[in-house]
A and B are shown apart, each in its own frame.
Chain A
Amino acid sequence: MAEQIPNNCRYTQDHEWVRADGKLAVVGISFHAQDTLGDVVYVELPPVGAWVSAGKAFGVVESTKAVSELFAPVSGKVLKVNEALVSNPQLVNTEPYEQGWLIEIEMSAPEELGVLMDAAAYETFLHSTH
């Protein structure tokens, strides 16, 4: 499962992951999320400089079969958005934890990470709900 649920990320119940490094946090959706969605064909992300709030929608990911909202795992300012997804949204499917990342946030409250699940807890969560 390590490939599908990396240990260096924390996870939300909505299947986003966040990988923190100091005050910076990269956000994406989990292997499970992309697998459930199917082929991703469109991603809508906030502009650089926008503020996102933990638990609030910050964008949308659309697959051939569904539209799904993206919820911010942590609060902060958007420093970068993954421009590669504009022309190649399928990176979310093929590399959900690497080239398929969504946004990078400068966290305003890094302690919010504490309430998120670690890899082991997320794996248990997946098994309990699916």
Chain B
Amino acid sequence: MPEKTPLFETHQKMGAKLVDYSGWMMPVQYVSALKEHAAVREAVGLFDASHMGEFELRGAKALETVNRLVCNDVSLCADGQAMYAGLLNEAGGFVDDVIVYRHSAEHMVLCVNAGNIAKDWAWVCQHIAGSGVTAENQSAQTGMLALQGPKAVDVLSTVGKLFSGQAVAQLKRYHFAEGEAAGIACTLSRTGYTGEDGFELYCSASKTEALWWALLEAGKPWGIMPCGLGARDSLRLEMKYPLHGQDIDDNHTPFEAKLNWIVKMKKEAFLGKGALEKQKEKGVERLWVGFVMVDPGIPRTGYAVFHNGKQVGTVTSGNFGPSVQRAIGMAYIDSVCAQDGTVLEVEIRERKAKAQTVKTPFWQKGA
């Protein structure tokens, strides 16, 4: 039986199409994935992200312990700052990609992918053993909503406040603070998975539905739309944000995924560092690139990618990009042909369709 978020019945009542997404019954769309995508790019949309997991780590050595678990350097964060990072295995592959919330050097929260909660939890527990840091899996008790789009700040400003007294609009990108929205206590984080300005709100699971309705009500003047995973996927695709389990996994390293910026090799020791050092020395054999289709057709996960008649890789994600108005995709391909502008062929139903690698993100505001 797939798991359900606190909003499962709400989604049903609202007429959403529900699908089993990595073990969770989630709305794929309410009305139209394209309209929901557009709402987020142009105004504001609201997503249920309660399927995501949250691990709370506390202890005198929380900072150094988390810093040993992830490849990014959390010591570079101020308290109240969030950071994207990889949770790597000994081979340098992604156990998961996570957001680290640094409440303080003694208190960190990891936000992990829904499909990986059990695996990540076991991994974290195993690797913090002996550090004196205690971990708590808060995933089931925590609800999470993502309010995304250029108008998200306006919507949240009407119903939200930070306990610090700072205005919601003053919260900087990739920063978070405790506060409330419509009277519901939550952590307000200026983060997201869409490429737009916006917030992710963490609250008690039991309050998630009230928060959901309050935000939809507050967003009415801006034409807010409830959004499903369809829009979430096309939005992240246009930004070339990886999806764990599809674009990155245990067998792919941050270097291969061109996520070098989340790897801090100067940091003392962290899981996977040894393997990454070796890979850096040898050079990567494959790279995760973005490409646009030149010929008609839509690239999909698993399609073979060719260059000069030879298979050089496989598509990890692809779809029609609603904002860029063309078919786009990502693939790991041999690093020798991974530079921008390389002409590729994607095998779509036994036909070789021309494609070309491009600079990413595919979509840029105002471009």
Contact = CB atoms under 8 A, between A and B. Distances in A.
A123 interface: no
A42 B33 contact: no
B302 to A, nearest CB: 11
A68 B161 CA distance: 47
B51 to A, nearest CB: 17
Contact of A42 (B17, B28, B234, B296): B296
Q: What 3 pairs across the A-B complex have the smallest Cβ distances? A: A41-B320, A64-B33, A39-B34
Interface string B275-307: 000000000000000000000111010000000
- How many A residues touch the partner, as a band? 10 to 19
Contacts, number: 45
A60 B230 CA distance: 20
Interface residues of B, number: 18
Interface of A: 38-39, 41-42, 44, 60, 62, 64-65, 67, 86, 90, 93
Interface in B12-26: 17
B323 interface: no
Interface of B: 17, 28-29, 32-34, 230, 233-234, 296-298, 300, 319-320, 322, 327, 349
A38 B29 contact: yes
Contact of B298 (A38, A41, A86): A41
B343 to A, nearest CB: 21
A44 B349 CA distance: 11
**Residue picked from B34, B234, B349, most chain A C-beta under 10 Å:** B34
B32 A39 contact: yes
B297 A65 contact: no
Contacts of A60: 349
Contacts of A90: 34
A42 B230 contact: no
Contacts of A44: 296-297, 349
Given A38-B17, A38-B28, A42-B327, A65 B230 contact: yes
